[in-house]
Amino acid sequence: MTDTPKRHMKDQIYDIFLGRIQRGEIGPDVRLVDTAVAAEFNVSRMPVRDALMRLTHEGYLDSTTRGFTLPNLDTRQIREIFELRRLLEPRAAALATARLTENDLTRLRDAVARAEQTLETGEIETLFAASEDIRRTWIMAVPNKELRDTILRYMAQIQAVRMATLRDAEAHRTLVDLQRRLLQALEARDAAAVELLLLRYVLAGEDSFLRLHPPSADSDAS
């Protein structure tokens, strides 16, 4: 009788860092160096390199001469991701509405409460973490696996954008208000209201980004 083979270390490292990226635990200023990651897991550089290169090929990371970072997107790419979000996320959130468990709703209430507190404290990192918790909770309840995985795939690419827009005081107030209203709609299992509020949430983030980074005449012409 043979033992069941263990999963390769490179696959374990891939799963760990994919989870860290999707939970927002790796920020835009973090640089992943293979030697440091290898030391963390007490392994050679080879499985680490394989895992990080796989994440790069799948669009979760960028490879540089000094390590791996979250993707550094130009304005055109960011605007296209917002377009993708407008198309996918409202419907996905509506589909998730009926699938949320009581534990999910408890997590959402806690995250919204933390986000509301930042209106007084101004702690943007707390707001970022709360927003990621809200987003991940409803995404993981989406019953359509292909839709869920598609949304998760570009999650890392919008984290740097999210941090920038959350520092906009006007957007801060608007987004927290929409988070509060989204929670109420999810608690009421009102899928139509959830779909509309999620669209407004994405549009508010996009408006903030465009206000902070107005498109140039050259980019409009290209």
- Look at 13 and 4; give whichever has higher pLDDT: 13
143 in a structural domain: yes
Give which of 126, 96, 121 is closest to 110, Cα–Cα. Answer: 126
Q: What is the CATH number of the domain that holds 18?
A: 1.10.10.10
110 in a structural domain: yes
Q: What are residue 100's phi and psi, to 5 degrees?
A: -65, 135
Structural domain including 17 reads: 9-69
Where does a domain end: 69, 102, 121?
69
Q: What is the CATH number of the domain that holds 145?
A: 1.20.120.530
- Give how many domains the chain has, as a whole number: 2
pLDDT in tens, 51-73: 999 988 877 888 988 899 888 77
pLDDT in tens, 81-107: 899 999 999 999 999 999 999 999 999
The length of the chain in residues reads: 222
Whether residue 90 is found in the same domain as residue 198: yes
Contact present, 68 and 52 (Cβ < 8 Å): yes
